Structure 1
Amino acid sequence: MSLCRNYPTPSNRMAVMWSLMPIKNSVVLEYGPAGTTHFGAGFYGSFDIDLENSLFTTHISEDDIIMGDVSRLEKAILEVDENYKPEVIFIVASAVVAVIGTDIKGVCTYMQDKVKAKLICFDDGGFGGDYTMGIENTYTLFVKEFALPENPIKNLDKYNILGASAASYRIRSDIWEIKDLMKRSFNMENGVTLGLEAGIEDLKNMGGAALNIVLRKEALPAAKLLKEKFGTPYIYQCPYGYTGTLEWINEMAEILSKEINIPFKKQLEEKIKDVRDMSRMMMATRMRIQPTASIIGDYDIIIGLSNFCKEFGFIIDKKICNHSLKNIDTENENIVSYKKEKDKINDLKNIKGQLVFGDEISIGICDNSNTKVCVSFPYPSKTQIATHLPFMGERGTDYLMEIIREYFSNMR
């Protein structure tokens, strides 16, 4: 790993933690130094995750490391089970515990008969890739461990949302918007929002939904597994822009064999027409320079916002992904992911006079001649509180339209 001036890419263990903690009726028990948990708690708190009675640590001493003593872990499991009575205890190894090779799976196996809670462990300590791998593995585990029974009662008016990572900036607002879109389009209700708004019982019943909406690539294995187990169809697309939102709704209508609410469809079509008229007017009367945008963030944010910007006649200069692209085919998408932070910083400094979507660190590095919008993780000085300020869907596009107009105004 090269020297980092800013924030290093979070490991898979960090994503495991922030994906597990929102699950109701469960507890995350971190086996490692208390300082690690204390630092992490402040980090997770910025995602608006409720940490009360959901995150605990065993702490460890030199004896635990040198002698392989696991009595602290055994006692912690018994104490959490007796005092908090969760349905599930997730035991997560810290990096130091993984390095010394403590057999956490073995501990969970012989301790299972001594507690009422189900014990599930994550023991790689953050050495299994970056945060995208942690998200993928956790979502897949949710389906494998909890999606029961094999033949659930199908509810044709329910859908699940897969891929709503708690770390994504304004994700709760985006989920609020998606729920509203589904209600206005098809009068459907949300069943499970995996990794953000769900309890253990919700996870058990997620096979009964009529549709799974996949918001990020890491949730695709879970969606495919649900289709294999329960026959549930899925759609993998994020609704960015008026056109993108209408295409997203039309595709779901075809999958579900449902009619779209006509007044709402006409409303979106009218806004699409307004965008086209505005784009033509801007190009004809104000623009002397080709409007240009750069996007920095997770893969799916880059894809979604690229399509949105093209709707306004933008060319996309740079697409910089903040995580590894090892398992993603980007041959025709011109997306880059830098191994060395220095190379990324140099590239960001060369962006001038553009509309820049990105994380707070990256847009801060960009020249002030740019119009900047924070849309992605990390965002160290921001806290997620609002749940009504989306980037996706109709309302998200309303907001982004204001940013587009600001950019055009700055280009005069």
Structure 2
Amino acid sequence: MGLHRFSPPMSGRMGTLKVLASIRDSVVIEYGCMGHMMYGRRFLNKTGVSERGKTYSTHIDETDISLGDKSRLDRTIAEIIENDKPKVIFLLPSAVPEIIGTDLPAICKELQPQYPDIPLVPFGYGGFDIFGYRGVQETLLHLAKTLSSDVEKSLEPKFNIIGSCSDMFRFQSDAEEIIRIMEGTFGIKPSCVMTSHTSVDEIRNMGEASINLVIRREGIPAAEYLGNRFNTPYLVGRPYGIKGTIQWIKDIGKILNLSLDKEFIREEEETIKDQLLPTIPVLSHILRSHPEESIICLGGHADVVKGILNYATEEMMLTKGPCWCDSPDMSNEEIPYLTEDGWASIIKSYKKSLVMASGEALEWGERNLSLQISNPDTKWRLNPYLPPFVGFRGALNLIDLWLNAILDQED
């Protein structure tokens, strides 16, 4: 693991933890050093994921490592089952057991007959060589494979959201906006919001849904598995902006063969246009007289960056500046992966432009913190009802943020 001036990239283990910890009626046991889980728990509390799924660490000492003694883990599982009575236990390795080759799947297989009604589900990716989003992807897929049950399709159409996880900034608000739009446009409710608003039973019933809404590319393998097993179609994409959200709705309507509530869409669109009308002269003046202030630079998850960029440049006529993503696996020509030196240089150079990035990057660069769109964060985020970035309400929220950020620079 290299040296970093800022927070190091999210590891696969942390990606896995951020997916699992929000699942109600579950327990996550980390087989490893106590400090790892304490750090992870602190992050989860700051994002508003507090004791939905319980998290524990066994701690390990020299005897466990040198002699391969796993009795501490056996006792931990027995005690948790007796006291907490979870519906499933997830086992997560930390770096040391991963390095010495502790076989968690074999341990779970050995112990499972003692607890026939409580699945013991092991996960990998405890080492530092696996990037965080790979951990998210494999965890979503593994959950779909191990927990989903053979169920009948719901008589009334339902939907799953795949990829709403606590590693994403404003994840709860974005999920709520998607739920609101689906209910308002089609009159259908969610079966499972994987994993920010879900329980063990809801994951088990994912097969009842009529469509899977994949809101980040890491959820595609899970959606493909569910599609093959339950014949459930899926749509990949995050709805940003007015036109983008309407097109996203139309795509869902085609897949489900459902008619849209055009009145709901009209009211949402008119609300945004009414609110936007007084700002048009101000924005026009900025675009014409202060072009450097209409440049937008974005950094974060590639899907978030792409979605907000399209809205900003195609609907709001802002100018694309340098953009970057936070994963080398998602890098492309339009949105490359940048290391610390790369994005720090952009923040320093584009002093009058709109910069939307992680809270840590914005705070370091003394930029407008209201423009945060990604983690690492520097604040506590306990309120799940903040304005979203996706959907109709997200479109209005972004306009509000951009306009005020530009005006603040002129003061």
Pairwise CA distance, 1:284: 4.7
Pairwise CA distance, 1:381: 2.2
Distance 2:217 2:409 in 1: 35
Alignment counterpart, residue 310 of structure 2, candidates 299, 302, 307: 307
Contact 2:239 2:307 in 1 (8 A): yes
Corresponding residue for residue 336 of structure 1: 336
Is residue 389 from structure 1 mapped to residue 382 from structure 2 by the alignment? no
In terms of fraction of residues, the more helix-rich structure is 2
Spell out, residue by residue over 1:173-225, the C-alpha distance to the aligned partner (whole angstroms, 9 max, x if none).
Answer: 11111111111111110110012122222111101111111110100111111
Note the 1:189-228 alignment, pairs <5 A.
189-228=189-228
Note the 1:53-72 alignment, pairs <5 A.
54-72=54-72
Contact 1:2 1:341 in 2 (8 A): no
Query: What SS does the aligned partner of 1:27 have?
Result: strand
Query: What SS does the aligned partner of 1:194 have?
Result: strand
Alignment counterpart, residue 318 of structure 1, candidates 301, 305, 322: 322
Corresponding residue for residue 146 of structure 2: 145
Corresponding residue for residue 296 of structure 1: 299
Pairwise CA distance, 1:240: 1.3
Pairwise CA distance, 1:275: 8.5
Spell out, residue by residue over 1:330-389, the C-alpha distance to the aligned partner (whole angstroms, 9 max, x if none).
Answer: 24xx21212x42333223211221111111011223365x78601211112232323242
Distance 1:307 1:103, change over 3 A: same
Distance 1:231 1:365 in 2: 48
TM-score, normalized by length of structure 2? 0.92
Distance 2:320 2:91 in 1: 43
Contact 2:90 2:121 in 1 (8 A): yes
Query: What SS does the aligned partner of 2:78 have?
Result: helix
Contact 1:298 1:322 in 2 (8 A): yes
Distance 1:124 1:260 in 2: 42
Distance 1:35 1:18 in 2: 16
Pairwise CA distance, 1:94: 0.9
Pairwise CA distance, 1:396: 1.7
Contact 2:30 2:91 in 1 (8 A): yes
Contact 2:152 2:207 in 1 (8 A): yes
Distance 1:128 1:205 in 2: 34
Pairwise CA distance, 1:278: 6.8
Contact 2:212 2:233 in 1 (8 A): yes
Spell out, residue by residue over 1:230-287, the C-alpha distance to the aligned partner (whole angstroms, 9 max, x if none).
Answer: 1111111111111211111111111111111121122244357568967864465453
Corresponding residue for residue 378 of structure 2: 380
Distance 2:283 2:386 in 1: 32
Note the 1:31-42 alignment, pairs <5 A.
31-42=31-42
Query: What SS does the aligned partner of 1:160 have?
Result: strand
Distance 1:289 1:56, change over 3 A: same
Contact 2:20 2:53 in 1 (8 A): no
Distance 2:25 2:249 in 1: 33
Note the 1:8-157 alignment, pairs <5 A.
8-51=8-51, 54-116=54-116, 117-127=118-128, 129-149=130-150, 152-157=152-157
Distance 2:265 2:343 in 1: 41
Distance 2:401 2:53 in 1: 40
Distance 1:46 1:283 in 2: 35
Write the letter of the residue equivalent to 2:260. Answer: I
Pairwise CA distance, 1:292: 0.7
Aligned residues between the structures = 405
Is residue 405 from structure 1 mapped to residue 403 from structure 2 by the alignment? yes
Distance 1:371 1:56 in 2: 33
Contact 2:89 2:121 in 1 (8 A): yes
Distance 1:80 1:283 in 2: 58
Query: What SS does the aligned partner of 2:312 have?
Result: helix
Distance 2:274 2:346 in 1: 35
Distance 2:5 2:285 in 1: 43
Distance 2:18 2:369 in 1: 31
Distance 1:180 1:283 in 2: 29
Distance 1:371 1:112 in 2: 48
Query: What SS does the aligned partner of 2:210 have?
Result: strand
Spell out, residue by residue over 1:103-139, the C-alpha distance to the aligned partner (whole angstroms, 9 max, x if none).
Answer: 2222111111112421111234134521101110011
Contact 1:243 1:272 in 2 (8 A): no
Query: What SS does the aligned partner of 1:91 have?
Result: strand
Pairwise CA distance, 1:410: 4.8
Contact 1:93 1:125 in 2 (8 A): yes
Distance 2:244 2:115 in 1: 49
Spell out, residue by residue over 1:60-114, the C-alpha distance to the aligned partner (whole angstroms, 9 max, x if none).
Answer: 1111111111111111112112222212111111101111112222211111111
**236-245 or 49-58, which deviates more:** 49-58
Corresponding residue for residue 353 of structure 1: 352
Distance 1:73 1:322, change over 3 A: same
Write the letter of the residue equivalent to 1:94. Answer: S
Question: Unmatched 5+ residue regions in structure 1?
Answer: none
Spell out, residue by residue over 1:293-351, the C-alpha distance to the aligned partner (whole angstroms, 9 max, x if none).
Answer: 00011111101100110111111111111222x2x4624xx21212x423332232112
**151-160 or 25-34, which deviates more:** 151-160
Corresponding residue for residue 262 of structure 2: 262
Alignment RMSD, CA only?
2.2
Distance 1:238 1:52, change over 3 A: closer
Distance 1:82 1:243, change over 3 A: same
Write the letter of the residue equivalent to 1:132. Answer: Y
Distance 1:104 1:221 in 2: 23
